Each structure stands twice: as C-alpha cells, then as structure tokens.
Structure 1
Amino acid sequence: MPRIYLGKILLCWCDACHTPVLSGVCACGAPTRPVAVTPPGDARPAFPDDIERINRIFSEHFGAPLIPEGHIALLNKVPAEDRMDEIVLGGAVVGAVRYIPDERRYEPLPRPAAANYMRPTKRYVVIDDGAIPSIRDSGASVLAPGLVSIDPAVREGDEVFILTKAGECIGVGRSRVDAEAAGTMERGVIVRTRKNVASVCVPGEATWDDAVRANEPALAEYEARSVRFVREVAEQNPERPTVSYSGGKDSLATLLVVLKALGPVPLLFADTGLEFPETCENVDAVAERYGLPVLRVCDEETFWKKFEESGPPAVDHRWCCKVCKLHPIGRLISENWGECLSFIGQRKYESVKRMQSRRVWRNGNVPQQLSAAPIQQWTAMHVWLYIFREKAPYNTLYERGLDRIGCFMCPSSDLATFAIIEESHPELLEIWRERLTGWQEKQGLPGDWIERGLWRKRGDADEEEDSYN
C-alpha cells in the first residue's frame, strides 16, 4: 500500500519519562527522539480493550503476550487492505496486528524489538551461531544448513521469531515451510527474514497522567493557537457561534477549545437515527457537564426511504451524510438563526481531503453554516492528551476498540471494525444485515456481497467526505 503523507510526523519519545512527547524536548527537560511510525503517523493511545486483543493475538500465535501491564502503548493505523495497526512500546514500533477479512482473524507481525517485552514459547526457529551475522546484519534468510531447531507448531506462512542458541532474538520473518518439512531439508529457505530498520527501544513503566505532564508545554502551545484562532474567527464573523458535536473525540477537543475562547455555546447534533447508544449518551453527558443547550435534528425515516430508492450508501456515494446530517442541520440553522458559525473537529491528519481543506469554509450543502476548524493542525495524540488533561467525558466506544465514531453502519468503516461492532452491538448489525439482504435479493447481487463488505463501495471513485464532525 502507498504511504500517505498528511503533515510532519510529530511523535517523539522521552526515555526518561517513558512517554510519548509531541515536541523535541520533554517537560522534564530531557531531549526526545522521533518514533519511526509509518505515515500519516496519527498514533493514538491503546486502551485496555486494544491491549487485551493484542495480547490475545500474540499469546495465541507465539505463546506469550506482548504488552506488559503498566507500560504506555500506542497504536498507529497504517494503510492496508483492511486494517493494520502498528504497536509502539518504549519509543519503538515493536510490531503490528493485521486483520485478514477472508479468515476473520488478526495476524501478528512482530519486529525484533518485541523481544524486549516477550519471549516466544512457540513459532520460533533457532539458528546456528555461524548464521547470526548474515541474518542479523544483512537480513539474510534462514537457510536449512543454518537451522538448529524449529518449533513443531510452525506452519508454512507463519510469522516466526529467529533466535540464537542463547535465546537472543536477531530477526523475525515468515516461514516458507512447515516444521515437519524443515526438519528433512538439507538446503533451501526455511524463513524469509523481514528487513526491519533497527530501532531504539527503552522499556519502562508510565501512566497517561505522566504523559500529560510530559506534554504540558506542547499542549499549552497548541491550545493557545487554537483559542486565538477561535476568537479571531468569531470577531470577524457576526454569525451565532456554535459547535458541531458528533460524540467523537475531535469535536470534544474542539468544544473544550471553544469554551475557553468564547464561553458557553450551543451544540449542534445531527442524530441520524443510526448512532450508537453510547454516542447519544455522550452528547447528553457533555451537555450536562458544561451546561450547554443541544439543538438536535433526527431524520431516520428519510434515510430508510432513500435506502429503498438507492441502496446502501458507499464511501464513494455517501448520500447518507447529505440526507441525515447536512440538509437537516441546514434547516435547523435556518429555523433558529438564519445563519451560524460552527466550529468543527476537522484535522488534517485524518485524510488527504481534510489536509487540503481550508480552515474556514462553507459547505455547498449547508450554505447557512460558516465552518471553522480550530484543531486542524492537531494530531490524534494532541487530542487525546488534551482530553485526558481536561478530564473531559469522552465516548466510551473508544475504549472498546473503535478508533473513529460515526454511524454504526458507516461505509468508511473497515471489516475489522464491523467485527468489533458485531461483538459489542450485535443487535445493530442484525438490523443492517436485514436491510442489506433485502437490497441484495432485489438487485440480484453476488452471495458474498454482504460478508465481503462489497456494499461499501460502488466504483473506483475516491471517498466522499461530509466535512461535518
């Protein structure tokens, strides 16, 4: 998959505090070092459910968990066929987990740095000392003459650790043969070694409170810039200021900034009728916490009517956002103020289109609304550290493995996300499957159209975006 550059990767690590830091110097005064994550580099915290899932995946495959208790772990979503997250520990990418849709399972992809945190008890090979330099230093494959032993659990295509007789990990790779076949080979490749860039990894315990303290100067700087932006935009535009609130982390961070810049403002919430219950609960909790009025609009009936006419929305045909969000919000604004200024949780690290977007704009589908993005330059880590610092009530769905919050059937979701939703909200996906099945039968679509998620895209066009968070 091609790399996507949306801005400078700001993620660094403090080896003294054992925390991520978003600048070249930690609040403790120690210099930081860059973390070599794959672009766009919009890393986020690994929540307990994420950690449990990753440890289960590694334990099932290698016989040992990866992430120890008390250590800060980050996940960095990278371009992939469906979903793949790099795992950051100790300031290094120690591996990744990749979802394989056809098999409905995750595959662990360790890097040598993972050996700082775990010792595999299965799916490993042991090599002769004479083969160490070529494998460790040059990334050579493990050949039959250099093989000392191979774990019986290894099957062709498995990810394996490459160990010395002393137990040191000098590489990782993919097995080219089963363990049984490897034992009979006199020549040939046993493991194709993956060429990984050497990385510094410094294990150490820390909490997210420690991370907030380590980033206080950076957070203060980004907050001040965003507060200044909000005040300048509000001074230049007489429209009624509001915050477009979706129940997601970015709109929450935006709200916190606007409250500091302007004080209380109304929240605009487009309840599509396809929201998670937790999202509606979060809207209410945030409104109550900060004493804010919520102007809601819901048009679920129109969604299902449009569905019967046009079929399900797709990433390249997102009629849902216009029908259930943009047009209803436009009517709501017209009825209450005629026009309004809405601060929106848009960030450039989310997508190419948002990176290219102006910071103040009007959406042609909602001409009554002047939109502005106070946190356009923030990364997801800025957002989360800011929310943690402010102890703001965020949507609990983030703690259950979802990295973005929208409608439960959003076509922009990957199949890994739908697998998580199937476990947490089976009743919602059952409703959606029934509707999809009806359309599938009506149109005579292939039998795997639903299971393979083919309904999520109509053609080859780029993904549409709604510019409404």
Structure 2
Amino acid sequence: MKLNYNSLQTEDYQAINKELERKDSLEVLKWAYNSFGDKLVYSCSFGAEGMVLIDLISKVKKDATIVFLDTDFHFKETYELIDKVKARYPSLNIELAKPEITPEQQAEKHGDRLWERDPDACCNVRKLVPLQRELDKYNAWISGLRREQSPTRVNTQFVNQDNRFKSIKVCPLIHWTEEEIWMYIKLHKLPYNDLHDKSYPSIGCEYCTKPVAEGGDPRSGRWANSEKTECGLHK
C-alpha cells in the first residue's frame, strides 16, 4: 500500500526521517518513488536547485512528472530554460499549471498591479490555488528546499507533513549548500536560468523579483521593499 497524508502520524514522520538521516539525495528520491510511485510529483520553479533535482530525478524515474506553476508573470529567461530542459530530458513529463483566471481577468476582478498592493492575494490566485489543484491528484510532492536558504527553512526534514496542502512534502536537498548546488550544475553541464549570472540568486515572477547586491541575502530580491519572504507554498 502506498503512503498517504492521512495514514501517517507524527511518529511515522520521525521514524521515516530517522531511517533516511544518513542517506544521500539520490537515495531519498529512490525511497520516495518506491513509496509513492506515480502518486509523486515534483513542483519545480526551475531555479538552480531545480536543475539539480531534475537531473537526479531523471536518474531514478525517467518519466517522472514535473509541474511548473506558470503564473503568466515569469521572465522570458525562465520560459527559455524550460524549453532547454524539455530538450535535454525528453522522457520527463513537464506540465505547466496555469491559474484559473488570466492576468486581464485578475485586473478586472482585483484591480491593476495586485502584486504591488497585495502580493499575498496575487500569490494565492496565481500559485497557491493552482498548486492545490495539482497536488490533489497526488499523495506527495517533491520540493527543492534547502535549510541554509532562510530562517524559515532551517527545520525542514527529508519528509515533511504538509498541513497546508494536506500532502507529504519530500525535500531531498536539505543539506546542500549553494556552493554544492553550483558545483553540481557546472560538473554536469546543466542548463540554468541566465538571470543567475545577472545578480538574481532567487528567481520568481518578473514583477516581484529584483537583482541582489553582492554579498546580500540571496532571497532579498524576492518581494523587495515588503515584509513578504515566502509565496505561501512552504508555510
């Protein structure tokens, strides 16, 4: 029987993470696909961590499903990268999940430039609701969260109870440093978003992502000039 959110208790997560604590990322992915099979999906933003995870996943399950939350507001470089990934990994099933309303419909309903006036509301419409719709099809999902990324992520485990989406969240890269991510990308000659070479360490929607000064917090360019630090997917 495949694992699911309703069948696991807190002690089960503790036991699973105890079992996996000395495993590497590839072994964690193998455990995840063995445990969830086709009921496991990778929600990928196509950042640097995403390139590493896609490559690792391709070694474990060549026809894995990858979902990208296409908010309609991404940089052209992000869409160009997705095309490169599709060409490099033709067996992967890469899907673009769209919001239920277009940018024009959003402006009519909520007013112009919602991302400036209420970024949480914009993220809800264009990210959280679409992801919930996608995750309802699966028992678990993969995320590229790393502990060193921000204070809100330091306690992330390999396998996490995701009460926000009533799912199980698998995070194979929790121990990786940014340096290790980029070493892997360079070593394996993986494609990556050109914006990373232009002072964009973390890349989201075009309207809400700014370049970061050298030495600055890698996530300080996300929702700059506001107190928002997360889109809500990982709260």
Question: Does residue 377 in structure 1 map to residue 168 in structure 2?
Answer: no
Alpha-carbon distance change, 239 to 320 in structure 1, aligned in 2, over 3 angstroms: farther
Equivalent residues of 2:128, 2:233 under 8 A apart: no
Return the alpha-carbon distance in structure 1 between the equivalents of residues 161 and 109 of structure 2: 25
Identity over the aligned pairs, expressed in percent? 24
Matched, 1:297 2:63: no
Pairing of 1:209-358 with structure 2 (within 5 A):
225-238=24-37, 240-291=39-90, 292-299=92-99, 300-301=102-103, 303-304=106-107, 307-308=110-111, 311-312=114-115, 318-334=120-136, 338-358=137-157
Higher relative strand content:
1
1:46-195 counterparts in 2 under 5 A? Answer: none
**Structure 2 partner of 1:393:** 191
Distance 1:375 1:293 in 2: 21
AA partner of residue 129 (structure 2): H
Matched AA of 1:308: G
Once the 2 structures are TM-superposed, how far is the Cα of residue 332 of structure 1 from its aligned partner? 3.2
Q: Go from structure 1 to structure 2 and tell me whether the alpha carbon gap of 1:354 and 1:304 turns closer, same or farther (over 3 Å shift).
A: farther
SS of 2:140's equivalent? strand
Residue matched to 2:205: 407
Matched AA of 1:276:
F
2-structure distance, mates of 1:307, 1:376: 37
Quote the Cα distance in structure 2 between the aligned partners of 1:398 and 1:467.
22
CA distance in 1, matches of 2:231, 2:161: 14
Cα separation, partners in 2 of 1:287 and 1:310, compared to 1, 3 Å: closer
CA change 1:344–1:313 in 2 (3 A) is farther
In structure 2, give the amino acid aligned to 1:332. Answer: E
Higher relative contact order, chain-length normalized (CA < 8 Å, sep 6+):
2
Secondary structure, counterpart of 2:208 in structure 1: coil
Q: Give the structure 2 partner of residue 360 of structure 1.
A: 159
Change (3 A) 1:466 1:305: farther
Q: Tell me by how many angstroms 1:465 deviates.
A: 4.6
Offset of residue 365 of structure 1: 4.2
**Matched residues in 1 for 2:73 and 2:180: separation?**
29
Give the Å deviation of 1:295: 1.4
How far the C-alpha of 1:333 sits from its partner, in A, is 4.2
Superposed CA RMSD: 3.0
Report which of the two structures shows the higher radius of gyration computed on alpha carbons. 1
Contact 1:250–1:345 (Cα < 8 Å) also in 2: yes
Any gaps of 5 or more consecutive residues in structure 1?
1-223, 418-452
Once residues 34 and 117 of structure 2 are traced to their aligned partners in structure 1, the CA distance between those partners, rounded to angstroms, is 39
Mapped to 2, the partners of 1:296 and 1:374 lie a distance apart of 22
Give the deviation of 1:414 after TM superposition: 6.6
Query: AA paired with 1:312?
Result: W
Question: By how many angstroms is 1:399 displaced?
Answer: 1.7
Query: Contact 1:228/1:261 (CA < 8 Å) preserved in 2?
Result: no
Distance in 2 between residues matched to 1:265 and 1:463, nearest whole Å: 30
Please tell me the residue identity of whatever aligns with 2:144: G
Note if contact 1:326-1:366 (Cα within 8 Å) is conserved in structure 2: no
What secondary structure sits across from 1:385 in the alignment?
helix
- Paired residue for 2:218? none
Q: 1:260 to 1:234 in 2, by over 3 A?
A: same
Cα deviation for residue 271 of structure 1 reads: 0.6
Unaligned runs of 5+ in 2: 1-22, 215-223
Return the structure number with greater helix share. Answer: 2
Distance 2:211 2:81 in 1: 23
Quote the residue 2:10 is aligned against. none
Closer/same/farther in 2, CA of residues 284 and 363 from structure 1, 3 Å limit: farther
Identify the residue that residue 232 of structure 2 maps to in structure 1.
466
Deviation of 1:307 (Å): 4.6
* TM-score, length basis structure 1: 0.38
Indicate how the Cα distance of structure 1 residues 272 and 373 shifts in structure 2: closer, same or farther if over 3 A, else same: same
Secondary structure, aligned partner of 1:257 = helix
Deviation at 1:304, TM superposition (A): 3.6
- CA distance, structure 1, for counterparts of residue 94 and residue 190 of structure 2: 17
TM-score, structure 2 as length reference: 0.72
> In the comparison of the two structures, how many residue pairs are matched?
199
* CA distance in 1 between partners of 2:156 and 2:62 (Å): 27
Q: 1:463 to 1:395 in 2, by over 3 A?
A: closer
Q: Which amino acid aligns with 2:70?
A: D
